[in-house]
Amino acid sequence: MSVEADLTQAPGAERMVAACLQQFGHVRVLVNAAGGFKNRLSTWLIPEEDWDAVLNSNLKTTFLCCRAVLPTMIERKQGRIINVSSGAARVVTHLTASHYASAKAGVLALTRHLAYEVGSYGITVNAVAPGVTLTARIDRLYDADQKRELATKVPLGRLGLPEDQVGPILFLASEGAEYVTGITVDVAGGRYMI
């Protein structure tokens, strides 16, 4: 099932959760994976509207989706929330963009706070922090030489692939992670060892 919704606005997130509840009766897992940024700009060159758009698409969407789904998870006393952040939120190893790093750092703070807040309801809240992952956005932001240079800084010798994120997310969504909450799993080939 798919639901088209503007997740930067509360009605969109609420409509998405309502559609899932109608179709499935409950929501056990929420993965917040919206976000990104268009341009790598120095902080002093970022237009205010770009700053707002990046914080909205990365941080506000995570907040609104969590807020929309938590009442049903609290009622059922179970749930898994996995927020996709970024290595950019953890360390600066190369320049991405300050608005993106700030938004993704906010996702990590929200993750920890929510984990503490809803743990007594049997809900876990965790995050993954991908390193540079070969997506269409990365192809647009970095040329071939820059990607090769970034790969030389990864102990496993390559940039990430989208499928590299799947296993850690599935683990955090599983019963095997029942006693894991408030953490961030760095999925970056060893590039970020925090």
Residues 90, 79: Cα–Cα separation, whole Å: 26
Residue 159 and residue 131 in contact, taking contact as beta carbons nearer than 8 Å: yes
pLDDT given for residue 92 in this prediction: 79
DSSP state of 179: T
Burial, 23: exposed, middle or buried (Cβ in 10 Å; 0-12, 13-18, 19+)? exposed
CA distance readout (Å), 142 to 51, 120, 136: 21, 44, 10
Ordered structural domains, the chain, with CATH? 10-187 (3.40.50.720)
Task: Look at residues 31, 20, 28 and name the one whose alpha carbon lies nearest to residue 61.
Answer: 31
Indicate the pTM of the whole model: 0.92
pLDDT given for residue 123 in this prediction: 98
Tell me the catalytic residues.
100
Task: Look at residues 71, 80, 74, 81 and name the one whose alpha carbon lies nearest to residue 120.
Answer: 74
- The residue type of 89 is A
CB atoms within 10 A of CB 75: 11
All residues at 6 or more sequence positions from 51 whose CB lies less than 8 Å from its CB, including other chains: 99
* Token pair recorded at residue 142: 């970095």
Burial string for 125-150 (b: 16+ CB within 10 Å, else e) reads bbbbbbbbbbeeebeebbeeeebeeb
From first to last of its 194 residues, the chain has per-residue pLDDT tens of 999 999 999 999 999 999 999 999 999 999 999 888 777 788 999 999 999 999 999 999 999 999 999 999 999 999 999 999 998 898 876 666 899 999 999 999 999 999 999 999 999 999 999 988 888 877 887 889 988 888 888 899 999 999 999 999 999 999 999 999 999 999 988 888 77
Residues 162, 134: Cα–Cα separation, whole Å: 7
